Amino acid sequence: MLKVILLRHGETAYNADGNRYCGRTDIGLTEKGVHQAEKVSNALGGYNINAVYSSPLLRACRTAAIASGGSRVITDNRLIEVDFGLWEGKTKAAFNAENPELWQQWINDPGRIRAGGTGETGNEVVKRVNGFFEEMLGRHRNQTIMVVGHNGINRLYMAFKLGMPLSNYRQIEQENSSVTIFALDDENVFTLKKLNANT
């Protein structure tokens, strides 16, 4: 069995500014985001964490370093946020005004529709993230790891593992620096133990 402490990174300026879609834009944490990660570190002090993995983006790496208490952070490109295509850097209200049909297509079928028209499909995201966790199950069997990712990839992966249609992924909440804990057994069966915890 593998136990995973899954985090979304702390707050960024994009999150604070009307929740603009950050995607692959590499920006850091706000002061509030740093404090959020510090709070996680204090809350998880009693956990024996064997390894820490993160998206290569700065906001995730910094959250991982702080939340893990300064542990070595291993970055993996499979944990990078969804490529949001033409939605990058815009609020939902802004890109909806430009092309409401595209947003509705994504909401109805994110597995096959490209985010922002030119970005990734949900199926592409799930494939890479699931591949990462399958590898971790083999590498860290009977251990606990911390993984710091992003709102989009975390929710799409969990929807997939819980057997939900990917169109329901937005019904899973992931606040900045919230803690989700799940386990993968030896058959890669997913058990959700804690979701969006405010430590």
d(CA 150, CA 99): 25
- Say which of 9, 20, 62, 90 is annotated catalytic: 9
- Say which of 3, 62, 140, 150 is annotated catalytic: 150
The reply to whether 140 belongs to the active site is: no
The reply to whether 35 belongs to the active site is: no
Residues near 46 by Cβ (< 8 Å), separated by ≥ 6?
none
Q: For the chain, list the domains and their CATH numbers.
A: 2-197 (3.40.50.1240)
What does pTM read for this prediction? Answer: 0.95
State the alpha helices, DSSP H only, in the chain.
13-16, 31-43, 58-67, 92-98, 100-108, 122-139, 151-161
The pLDDT tens digits along the chain (199 residues) read 999 999 999 999 998 887 889 899 999 999 999 999 999 999 998 899 999 999 999 999 999 999 999 999 999 999 999 999 999 999 999 998 999 999 999 999 999 999 999 999 999 999 999 999 999 999 999 999 999 999 999 999 999 999 999 999 999 999 999 999 999 999 999 999 999 997 6
